[in-house]
Structure 1
Amino acid sequence: MSKANPSCCSSLLSGHLTLDAANQLAAIFRVLGEPIRLQMLSSIAAQPQKEVCACELAEPLGISQPTVSHHLKVMHAAGLLGRERRGTWIYYRILPEKLAMLAESLTFAKM
């Protein structure tokens, strides 16, 4: 019976997520598990200035303003969106560094 060559396979532990990092990512992916939130992110990303007033999302998405506000608040709390108050309106923008971190967590080791 021959032993397997230990150098033929990469370690299963190389590049693995820590439990803390996995918990943080899972929380963000749960936030993104709502289809309406993905639609909202897509709508924001599609704007030329990459931001949108909360008041502009209700009608195109067919949801009420309180529902829009709730979902934006959840995504802001998860660190996916930044916000800025301008008078009585709040403008939201995607935080690209958080999305880049999510994408990086899903990529395979570079070959």
Structure 2
Amino acid sequence: MPPLRIAFASDLHAGPTTHPTVLDDGFAALAAAEADVILLGGDYVFLTADRISEIARRLAQLPRPRLGIFAVMGNHDLWADDAAIAAALSQAGARVLVNERV
């Protein structure tokens, strides 16, 4: 069996204190990883869900890994608008997990 390549990212905190190049660099690293699966560990935004589009746009541009992209919410996402964040991530191609496993 070939090794499984997993890429993981979390705590992106898109918002007024996060420069767009930080997000660009992070998503470039995810793309360069050529992972079999991408796991997203939450805290996509800082304070409000207004900036989730910055994450979703970059996520939608990633090459699709053969096993998919999976996302969970973090505490910052729950404090913001987790439903809006989950919808944006889902539309961008991630499977959002809530009290489930894969």
TM-score (norm 1): 0.24
Structure in which a larger fraction of residues adopt helix: 1
Give the TM-score of the pair, scaled to structure 2: 0.25
Query: Larger Cα Rg: Structure 1 or Structure 2?
Result: 1
Greater relative CO (CA pairs within 8 A, separation 6+): 2
